[in-house]
């Protein structure tokens, strides 16, 4: 996955699972906050990535969010299962998975075969 796509997925999954309102996400690999904010609820996601000047939005159907990344012009599938999530990035053709504990988010990117850590 592209780094900014992974950051957006971590932010969205973190907000949905933790139910914490946050206007940014901390990316430990970059050692900085990424400004993302918007509306997230059980039926819809509509957020804006200020660092990349683009929207990411979509709807939920049975704990599966069909998201669209307007900056990269591709879909992202995100499934929520308790504190865990998984999905597929159609832009880079790769799977991802992760877990949210409190405000900490861990993402495994199958495209890079690496773990990435975030917090909201």
Give residue-wise pLDDT tens across range 74-100: 999 999 999 999 999 999 999 999 999
pLDDT for 42: 84
Instruction: Read off the pLDDT of residues 36-76 as tens digits, 9 standing for 90 and up.
Output: 999 998 899 999 999 999 999 999 988 799 999 999 999 99
pTM listed for this prediction: 0.96
What does the DSSP assignment read for 10-71? HHHHHHHHH----SEEEETTTTEEEEEEEEE-SSEEEEEETTTTEEEEEEEETTEEEEEETT
Q: How confident is the model at residue 107 (pLDDT cuts 50, 70, 90)?
A: very high
Mean pLDDT of the chain: 96
């Amino acid at each position: 996955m592209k780094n900014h796509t992974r950051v957006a997925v971590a932010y969205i999954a973190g907000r949905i699972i933790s139910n914490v309102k946050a206007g940014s996400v901390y990316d430990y690999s970059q050692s900085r906050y990424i400004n993302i904010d918007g509306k997230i609820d059980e039926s819809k996601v509509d957020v804006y990535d200020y660092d990349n000047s683009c929207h990411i939005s979509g709807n939920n159907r049975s704990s599966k969010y069909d998201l669209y990344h307007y900056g990269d012009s591709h879909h992202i599938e995100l499934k929520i299962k308790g504190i865990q999530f998984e999905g597929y990035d159609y832009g880079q053709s790769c799977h991802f998975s992760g877990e949210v504990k409190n405000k900490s988010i861990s993402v495994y990117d199958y495209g890079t075969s690496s773990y990435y850590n975030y917090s909201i």
